[in-house]
Amino acid sequence: MTTPPADPTATPATALIADLVTAVDHVGIAVPDLDAAKKWYADNLGFVTLHQETNVEQGVEEAMIGPAGADASGAAVIQLLAPLNEESTIAKFIARSGAGLQQLAVRVTDVDAVCERLTGAGIRVLYPAPKRGTADSRINFVHPKDAGGVLLELVEPAAHGVGH
C-alpha cells in the first residue's frame, strides 16, 4: 500500500508548531563502536553512509546512514552516534541505558521560531540559542521529560542542504 504525500494545507493550524515542522529527519542511535554499527547496517540492511563528521562540541563522531539516495530525497535516516570521550552525553547515555535509541529528530523551517513558541508554552528546550548540528544545520532539543520520555531534536537544515 502506498501512502499519498501529505497535503501541508490540510495540517491543523491550531497545533503549536505544525506550520514549522516538515518531516521526521532522523532517529539517533547511541553506539559504542561506529565502524561496527555501520557494518551491521550495511551487511544486514544494505544501508550506506550518506554523511560522516566529528562534532566536538556535542562530543560525538556521527554517521548518517540509510538507503542509497535517502539524502537527496530528504527521507528520514538513521544517525549513528558514538562518544568521543567519557564526558560525552552519548557515553553517559550508554552507561545508563545501554546502546540504543537516544533521540528522535524533526526537521523544521525556523528553529528560532520553534524554540520561541515551545518556550512560551512552558516546554523546556535545552539551549538558549541553537547550536551547530550535522552538516551545518542549526539544532536545539526538547528535554525528554517534556516530550513523553523522548529526547526530541529540532533540526533546521543548512540553506545548502536538503535535510540531514
User: x-or-dash pattern for ligand KFV, window 4-33, by CB under 6 A?
Assistant: ------------------------x-----
Task: Tell me the Cα Rg of the chain.
Answer: 16
Residue type, 89: T
The residue written with cell numbers 562540541 in the block is 57
Show the beta-strand stretches assigned E in 11-159. 21-30, 48-55, 60-66, 77-83, 100-108, 131-132, 138-142, 152-156
Under the binding rule (CB under 6 A), the answer on residue 151 touching ligand KFV is yes
* Residue whose CB is less far from ligand KFV, 126 or 162: 126
Minimum distance from residue 143 beta carbon to ligand KFV (Å) = 6
**CA 6 – CA 23 distance, rounded (Å):** 10
Our finding on whether 92 is near ligand KFV (CB under 6 A) is yes
**Where in 41-80 is the site for ligand KFV (CB under 6 A)?**
55, 58, 60, 79
Q: What share of the chain is helix, strand, coil (3-state, %, to 5)?
A: 30, 35, 40
Q: Is 90 in the site for ligand KFV (CB under 6 A)?
A: yes
Applying CB under 6 A, which residues contact ligand KFV? Answer: 28, 55, 58, 60, 79, 81, 89-90, 92-93, 102-103, 105, 126, 133-134, 137, 139, 141, 144-145, 149-151, 153
